[in-house]
């Protein structure tokens, strides 16, 4: 950590600060420049409160030199993490295709879609049983029944299943689910992160609506600090002033995250855009810039879907898209 | 709900859509204009999926006419809600002054501050026992012990206590707390909202970092739909591109929320700005534009605070501020 | 335009508004629903002040049905516009590769880079002669000399030249420039837009830092309303809360703009990311989602560039990228 | 400027960078810490390209210690600047009340409003003669005629006049205007800033829609570097994701700017909110947090105003507001 003092700092104030820092067990390297004094802190600064120091009258600015995220930091773990789910590998050059409906609605629906997306090239099945809805009056999902139906679809097709968990109290219900999804609204539900960090299940962690990359990585860190290293990050659009689409898909997060962390990074173009005809161009763009996979909503009957139909592809559209994605991945190799 | 069709819509497509809407039990008022057809839906449109309809090829745009929030809507409840907490009234022309440290650290600390803020004009005591921290390696609060210390401070001073709950599984620990705070990061933790909605405790609901006013009101609606009408809204700064302060305090949310809802609206200038010397000007501005109260961090020794010290006022600064706020409230009457 | 009145609107107020609208020469189609009255305005509503109407006590909401942009609207001009510059076609399935240094520095530099980017696959040369700099103390460009050097590079290589104009008073200096660039900061410098709209030169119009797609199209409209239809739109990153890269590249703007307008849409990954190693992944992603071209900074000696070197590729990196882009375009055909 | 090198930097690379910095005439203070090397640059670093250095492989981060703005920096000019306009003082404890219509429409209109706002407490008159409009088809103002009408209103009432200039080529027309306004969309029209910097007229500089405070100050610096020190800054709302009001009024910019600069800071609650009933609460809040004045739209007949009527107060509303503002200013003294 580096502390830059204001030009007119008096000696007694400066010494008081240095003593206080030393009391915390830190080494302090003092560099008196022509215009200002710079203090370099040596030792474990992870418990030093940057904001507190920045607020002091004599301090011009403070800068943390080392990142607070450790487990997910590529610096300390240069090789890509590969998460394995029921024989499917995610990360490290493997591309995952997660597809399925927004909500699980019925056995017929979920099995029908599961077969269709498998035929079209998907290797994991998604479907919502617990739905986070802005309004308490909207459909909230089939809950336990929905999970049973997902398992039935898995039994039929062999596709591992991915579904969202909204509360740690539901963990038992998810015992036989392959990948637990943490939704964007729960990215900083730290209690939930800590609890799923105690399981050994792969966690699909979605970026919050207004989360920085550092915050996303710190949330991954919450899970990994508990011992669970199987974290898959997901960019799903951020909230900006731009009003034509539901969110702004931040694709540059993909190469940036690959630089910062060894964890796999996938993209959700369905929730990012909210409009099905925008999904294929953004999906191929995600593949082009190095994403490790895609999670895409597919529905066999968008007009009657209970929610989010507007962003779902039909199976035949998904099949065409899957072919294009393969070609793009080949092109950028 | 109003659906505007595209100018070149063919008759069979239009009739198919109208039939589908009627199948959902809705009345459809058709208005054929010179350039476009407008469908006005009559009946309960709360289950109609706006996004799905907007995604149809023949649809130009969709607009919901009635808001989805009911319980907290001023249209259906014109009078201000007044929340009572241990003799203190919040809302309806009453101004609450919530003050205290970021974290509860020790009995001496919390009782000392409680006495100081009471003397300075506060009528509720805040203090964090469960702390939401971006990093799993940062101090997470004293938990149960922290709540006991808050109760001790209440016993000493008579000030009702406000503290944050992060998980519904902790509800028992909060049985004797006066006001439950839902933090910004949990504003859309719908399971938590639902659970506190089953209690009869006043809930201080903070606006999410990137929440619209409608989303804030829908989260209040989650609590109220459970039967708990004692919700206090709190503006605490939103996330924008602006980088000089931690957040951008959106004070215009205060008069806007007062127009939309009958719930009390308070302001947190400490978290919004993150710098103690910015707290007084923003606090008086909040009082000037009609806030029903303020929640402000006060610490007796900022330099040694475990967290967030940078944004805490000293008791004597708080006392001076409290006097100014009284004068401003008088001036805008 | 559609006006939704509030449920409790009294008849005299409603009639007063209808009379006022009719006085403006509009037809008013009145639709009395069960809950509210909806007025559909027929005729030329382009001069109607939406905000004024929205502010009236009896009005719940107002919605404009027809877009205000005409010349650039795909509805009225379904075929792609193809802009021709010195034999190079932009739009309509043709892909342009604009490359060159941030600033023109010397004859040797610009001719050297021009040759290098031409060999690597570029078909237009960019270079700044007038530089918009946040600080008045930063290098502002070589001005007239810079333009002469660009022309020399064109003479040597045959590449048409693209350079930024910052003021209409400089138009004479740009008489022999092939494409005039309007920078992001001048996207709503309406006087400049109007003046370049009177020329017959192709205009490369960059999206403003916080411009909506509608505002970008309205700025194109300013140019086209003057008779100049040769407008090329450019997505170059928008300003958001996200702080890892200089801007957030909004690639979904590419397919969205293609839907809204017939004008070509290119992407600038250099300014969007500000970091050269992020340019290749975002460039291939742009090509994958349908961009009509790329404008990329290339420098032969980034370490000594006067400005923005951090975002420039070296010629050999550009050549590798150009090959990848060709492959990706083939893959998504 | 401080440069932090990556932990694994090799000696030859480090020395190459240090030599390069020394070649630029800078002193380099090297501080080898336990984990990293920190370089402190001594001398004039204003021409050093931070982004270029940050992009180097061996560099972890770069931090500028001294601000680039000089003329407007409070550090070098601790006393408040007081701008005088026709006997009215702005800044340094003096509060200015600028009021008038969005657009000048007719002699009767502007003289009528001028008299009304003067009676209500305004001491400067505003009115648009050149209007920046998003659409080329919207009313663009009366131009030269509008300025003549403003002068007539000044002759009648004695109020100095404030009006927006959009292009340096119009400067002659503004020769007898008292305060030149630079609109938000032109905040980074650097040519225009430079030209008004050569005049000796007070400049009212509005913050851009997505401008940081530093960018606003750098734009003031463009004007002041030309010799014109009479700059008045204006906060008028920024663009965020929040969608209930036109913009988000960033009132915390007021105390923050007062800390950074000696220039007066006023607030425009009319454009910030876009709704007349939100103007009074935000105006008193601005006064409470220390603004040096307010610029407010007042119209005698909002329903027939050509533009922006929705945000205008009626004269009697303005008079009531003026009284409240006086009381609030007294309260926060």
pLDDT at C304 over 60: no
Answer whether A225 touches C (CB < 8 Å).
no
Segment A2-41, tens digit of pLDDT: 788 887 788 888 888 888 888 878 888 787 766 678 787 8
Residue of C nearest to B30 (CA): C31
User: Which of C251, C257, C273 to mutate to test binding with chain A, by most A CBs within 10 Å of its CB?
Assistant: C251
Answer whether D248 touches A (CB < 8 Å).
no
pLDDT at A231 over 50: yes
pLDDT-based confidence at C308, cuts 50/70/90? very low
Q: Span A134-155, mean pLDDT? A: 93
* Min Cα separation D122/chain B (Å): 19
pLDDT-based confidence at D59, cuts 50/70/90? confident
pLDDT at D52: 73
pLDDT at A270: 95
Answer whether D61 touches C (CB < 8 Å).
no
The angle at the Cα of B305, spanning B304 to B310, to the nearest 5 degrees, equals 100
Answer whether A36 touches D (CB < 8 Å).
yes
Provide, as residue numbers in chain C, all residues whose Cβ is less than 8 Å from the Cβ of B27.
34
Answer whether D42 touches A (CB < 8 Å).
yes
pLDDT at A26: 83
pLDDT at A13: 82
pLDDT at A66 over 90: no
* C contact chains, 3+ CB pairs < 8 A: A, B, D
Q: Using CB atoms, pick whichever of B68, B239, B275 lies closest to residue A55.
A: B275
Residue of D nearest to C312 (CA): D52
User: Which of C44, C73, C76, C241 to mutate to test binding with chain B, by most B CBs within 10 Å of its CB?
Assistant: C241
Determine which of A26-35, A270-279, C278-287 has the lowest per-residue pLDDT on average: A26-35
Please tell me chain A's helix, strand, coil percentages from 3-state DSSP, rounded to the nearest 5.
40, 20, 40
Cβ–Cβ of B330/D331 closer than 8 Å?
yes
Helix (H, G, I), strand (E, B) or coil at D293: strand
Q: Using CB atoms, pick whichever of A36, A210, A239 lies closest to residue D65.
A: A36
Cβ–Cβ of B133/A302 closer than 8 Å?
no
Determine which of C25-29, C296-300, D145-149 has the lowest per-residue pLDDT on average: C25-29
DSSP code, position D10: -
* Min Cα separation A28/chain D (Å): 10
pLDDT at C67 over 80: no
Provide, as residue numbers in chain B, all residues whose Cβ is less than 8 Å from the Cβ of A276.
55
Provide, as residue numbers in chain C, all residues whose Cβ is less than 8 Å from the Cβ of B238.
none
Residue of C nearest to B34 (CA): C42
B10 CB burial (10 A radius; 0-12, 13-18, 19+): exposed
User: Which of D38, D75, D245 to mutate to test binding with chain A, by most A CBs within 10 Å of its CB?
Assistant: D38
ipTM of the complex: 0.88
Residues 156-215 of B with CB under 8 A from D: 210, 212-214
User: Which of D130, D135, D138, D276 to mutate to test binding with chain C, by most C CBs within 10 Å of its CB?
Assistant: D135
DSSP code, position D171: G
pLDDT at D3: 85
* D contact chains, 3+ CB pairs < 8 A: A, B, C
Determine which of A225-239, A249-263, B18-32, C316-330 has the lowest per-residue pLDDT on average: B18-32
Residue B308 corresponds to which tokens in the numbers above? Answer: 């967030």
pLDDT at C132: 92
Answer whether D251 touches B (CB < 8 Å).
yes
pLDDT at D98: 98
Residue C279 corresponds to which tokens in the numbers above? Answer: 């340019």
What percent of chain D has a predicted confidence (pLDDT) above 70? 95
Q: Using CB atoms, pick whichever of C245, C259, C288 lies closest to residue A256.
A: C245
pLDDT at A302 over 60: no
Mean of the per-residue pLDDT values of chain D: 90
pLDDT at A293 over 60: yes
Q: D195-208 in b/e burial notation, b at 16+ Cβ within 10 A?
A: bbbebebbbbbbbb
Q: Span A156-185, mean pLDDT? A: 97
pLDDT-based confidence at A76, cuts 50/70/90? confident
Distance CA C174, CA C147 (A): 8
Q: What is the CA radius of gyration of chain A?
A: 23
Answer whether C132 touches D (CB < 8 Å).
yes
Q: Span A63-86, mean pLDDT? A: 87
Distance CA B214, CA B260 (A): 9
Give the global pTM: 0.90
Residue of D nearest to B275 (CA): D256
Cβ–Cβ of A65/D31 closer than 8 Å?
no
Residue D123 corresponds to which tokens in the numbers above? Answer: 């001491």
Q: CB under 8 Å to D201, separation ≥6 — which residues?
A: D174, D177, D178, D179, D180, D228, D230
User: Which of C18, C52, C56, C66 to mutate to test binding with chain D, by most D CBs within 10 Å of its CB?
Assistant: C52
Provide, as residue numbers in chain A, all residues whose Cβ is less than 8 Å from the Cβ of D36.
65
pLDDT-based confidence at B35, cuts 50/70/90? low
pLDDT-based confidence at D243, cuts 50/70/90? confident
Q: Residue D259 in contact with residue B281, Cβ under 8 Å? A: no
Q: Using CB atoms, pick whichever of C238, C281, C330 lies closest to residue A255.
A: C281
Answer whether A2 touches B (CB < 8 Å).
no
pLDDT at D34: 61
Residue of A nearest to D59 (CA): A65
Residue of B nearest to D270 (CA): B252
Distance CA A300, CA A317 (A): 10
C98 has which bridge partners? C124, C295
pLDDT at C65: 64
Q: Using CB atoms, pick whichever of D68, D169, D189 lies closest to residue C137.
A: D68
Segment B180-214, tens digit of pLDDT: 999 999 999 999 999 999 999 999 999 999 999 99
pLDDT at B308: 46
Residue of B nearest to A170 (CA): B191
Q: Span B228-253, mean pLDDT? A: 96
Provide, as residue numbers in chain D, all residues whose Cβ is less than 8 Å from the Cβ of C276.
55
pLDDT at D166 over 50: yes
pLDDT at C177 over 90: yes
Cβ–Cβ of D54/C20 closer than 8 Å?
no
Helices (H), chain D: 11-23, 50-54, 107-120, 144-157, 190-196, 213-225, 253-260, 269-273, 279-288, 315-332
pLDDT at B227: 94
* Min Cα separation C72/chain A (Å): 17
pLDDT at A35: 63
Q: Using CB atoms, pick whichever of D29, D36, D240 lies closest to residue A65.
A: D36
Provide, as residue numbers in chain B, all residues whose Cβ is less than 8 Å from the Cβ of D273.
252
Q: Span B286-294, mean pLDDT? A: 98
Distance CA D185, CA B63 (A): 30
Question: How many beta-carbon pairs under 8 angstroms link A with D?
Answer: 54
Q: D107-137 in b/e burial notation, b at 16+ Cβ within 10 A?
A: eebbbbbbbbbbebebbbbbbbbbbbebbbb
Cβ–Cβ of D309/C68 closer than 8 Å?
no
Cα-to-chain-centroid distance, residue B312: 21
Question: How many beta-carbon pairs under 8 angstroms link A with B?
Answer: 134
Provide, as residue numbers in chain C, all residues whose Cβ is less than 8 Å from the Cβ of A272.
252
Half-sphere exposure at residue B192, Cβ-oriented, CA atoms within 13 angstroms: 29
pLDDT at D38: 79
Residue of C nearest to A321 (CA): C332
Instruction: Identify which has the larger pLDDT, A97 or D55.
Output: A97
Segment B84-130, tens digit of pLDDT: 999 999 999 999 999 999 999 999 999 999 999 999 999 999 999 99
Q: Span C83-95, mean pLDDT? A: 96
CA dihedral D132, D137, D143, D149 (to 10 degrees): -100
Provide, as residue numbers in chain C, all residues whose Cβ is less than 8 Å from the Cβ of B29.
31, 33
């Amino acid at each position: 950590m580096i502390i830059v003092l204001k030009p007119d700092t008096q000696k007694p104030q400066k010494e008081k600060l240095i003593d206080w820092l030393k009391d915390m067990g830190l080494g302090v390297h003092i560099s008196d420049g022509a215009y200002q004094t710079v203090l370099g802190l040596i030792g474990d600064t992870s418990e030093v409160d940057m904001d507190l120091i920045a607020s002091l009258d004599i301090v011009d600015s403070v800068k943390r030199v080392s990142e607070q995220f450790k487990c997910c930091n590529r610096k300390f773990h240069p090789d890509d993490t590969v998460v394995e789910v029921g024989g499917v590998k995610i990360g490290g050059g493997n591309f995952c295709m997660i597809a399925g409906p927004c909500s699980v609605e019925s056995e017929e629906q979920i099995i029908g879609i599961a077969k269709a997306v498998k035929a079209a090239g998907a290797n994991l099945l998604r479907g919502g049983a617990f739905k986070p809805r802005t309004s308490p009056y909207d459909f909230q999902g089939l809950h336990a029944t929905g999970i049973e139906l997902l398992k039935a679809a898995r039994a039929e097709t062999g596709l591992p299943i991915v579904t969202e968990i909204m509360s740690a109290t539901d963990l038992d219900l998810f015992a036989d689910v392959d990948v637990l999804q943490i939704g964007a609204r729960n990215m900083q539900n730290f209690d939930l992160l800590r609890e799923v960090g105690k399981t050994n299940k792969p966690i699909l962690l979605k970026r919050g609506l207004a989360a920085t990359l550092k915050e996303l990585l710190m949330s991954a860190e919450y899970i990994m600090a508990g011992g669970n290293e199987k974290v898959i990050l997901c960019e799903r659009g951020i909230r900006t002033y731009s009003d034509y689409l539901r969110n702004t898909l931040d694709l540059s997060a993909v190469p940036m995250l690959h630089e910062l962390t060894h964890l796999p990074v996938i993209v959700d173009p369905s929730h990012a855009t909210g409009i099905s005809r925008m999904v294929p161009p953004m999906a191929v763009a995600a593949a082009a810039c190095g994403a490790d996979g895609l999670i895409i909503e597919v529905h066999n009957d968008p007009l009657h879907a209970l929610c989010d139909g507007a962003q779902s592809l039909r199976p035949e559209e998904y099949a065409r898209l899957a072919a294009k994605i393969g070609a793009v991945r080949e092109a950028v190799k």
